[in-house]
Homo-oligomer: A and B are copies of this chain.
Amino acid sequence: MKPLKVAVIGGGSTYTPELVDGFIRYYEELPIESIYLQDTDTNRLEIVGGLARRMLARIGVRLCTTTDRAEALHGADFVVTQLRVGGMAARALDERIPLDYGVIGQETTGPGGFAKALRTVPVMLEIARDVSQLAPQAWLINFTNPSGLITEAILRHTDVKAVGLCNVPINMVRTIAQALEVDPSRIELDYVGLNHLSWARRVWLDGEDVTARLLETAALWHGEFSPTLLQQWGMVPNYYLRYFVHTNHVLEEQQNGPQTRAEYLQEVEAELLRLYQDPNLNEKPTLLETRGGAFYSTAAVELIRAIAQDRREVHIVNVQNGSAMPDLPPESVVEVPAVISKSGPHPLAAGPLPASIRGLVVS
């Protein structure tokens, strides 16, 4: 396999060292020739690029930084998009404005998520059209939120091969594995829904159905879902569902909280960028873990590996529905298990949604 060129759009993100760390961990199995970090913020690009370059030095992968999208994309094998239109300041507004109207403020759901989609889709379509021109063979791995909507826009309006990725599924597997005290590789999920509106209908441990047992494992839930609701669903919800089902409770939390998530992250990011500038730092700092996006790099690099090596493994990704979820139109993008091969993601047949969640999902 020829060594790969990877372009990271929004490469000045404080996430980037996490992604770079992933490429380093998998380097023996998945040789990379070069990583291009592209961003519009030259200051962040310099700081984050500096750390990334120091990290990659030991394995000899070339790291280039550029503000020129065309340079980054040209001939790339994989394009990872992790940008944030308007930066953390815009997210702060998405989370703050709805609260004034008595509605939950959240980055990817509700009015905040919709505002984010409105300002992000046009930019992502421009990027996708560049990919189509400059790297027509490339796969676009989208990590930009709202990941499902963005991926759907790209698949409907361009010919780019795009897959949407979110770290919710990989984290769900890991959280469940921890609760059961087993290795995550022994867990299999029957997972269904839309990005941030999804459930594991069934959970298997070594092929045995452990869903009912899990739903009673209080430790798994940190009180985020009422036991009655969990019993009614009979399915394992992802964390974001609390915004949909315990709306009043979450709203109260947010209205009484000292700051929004974005306000908090602005402080974390400032501190991260300060740390990244240390010329002696050549690995991702521990503080990065509090930034969110845990296991993001594992999910992304394993997905890239599956495509590049035509591995035909199952990953839970955001993919064009086709007939996977017959309750939704074929052109929708859904978050389901799919076989990942070099020919693309092939979703498993999920079948009709349970009545208990159907209305919420198709709305």
| A267 proximal to B (CB < 8 A) | no
**Interchain CB contact (< 8 A) of A349 among B202, B206, B324, B341:** B324
Q: Is the CB of A323 within 8 A of B352?
A: yes
Q: Is the CB of B326 within 8 A of A188?
A: no
Task: List 21 A-B pairs, Cβ < 8 Å.
Answer: A188-B341, A188-B342, A206-B342, A207-B341, A207-B342, A207-B344, A209-B343, A312-B314, A322-B351, A323-B323, A323-B324, A323-B349, A323-B350, A323-B352, A337-B339, A339-B348, A346-B348, A348-B349, A349-B350, A355-B362, A363-B363
- Give Cα A360–Cα B188 distance, bound, in whole angstroms: 32
Q: Which residues of B contact A355 (CB under 8 A)?
A: 362
| A310 proximal to B (CB < 8 A) | yes
Q: Which residues of B contact A362 (CB under 8 A)?
A: 327, 355, 358-359, 362
Residue of B nearest to A313 (CB): B312
Main secondary structure of the interface of A (DSSP, over half): mixed
- Give Cα A67–Cα B227 distance, bound, in whole angstroms: 47
| A347 proximal to B (CB < 8 A) | yes
| A27 proximal to B (CB < 8 A) | no
Q: Is the CB of B188 within 8 A of A310?
A: yes
Residue of B nearest to A308 (CB): B207
Q: Is the CB of B206 within 8 A of A310?
A: yes
Size bracket, chain A contacts: 35 or more
| A264 proximal to B (CB < 8 A) | no
Residues of A within 8 A of B (CB): 186, 188, 190, 202, 204, 206-209, 307, 310, 312-314, 322-324, 326-327, 330, 337, 339, 341-344, 346-352, 355, 358-363
Residue of B nearest to A102 (CB): B248
Q: Which residues of B contact A312 (CB under 8 A)?
A: 188, 313-314
**Interchain CB contact (< 8 A) of A360 among B190, B361, B363:** B363
Residue of B nearest to A330 (CB): B351
Query: Among A206, A327, A346, which residue has the most Cβ atoms of chain B within 10 A?
Result: A346
Residue of B nearest to A338 (CB): B348
- Give Cα A313–Cα B326 distance, bound, in whole angstroms: 24
Expressed in whole angstroms, the minimum distance between the Cβ of A30 and any Cβ of chain B is 16
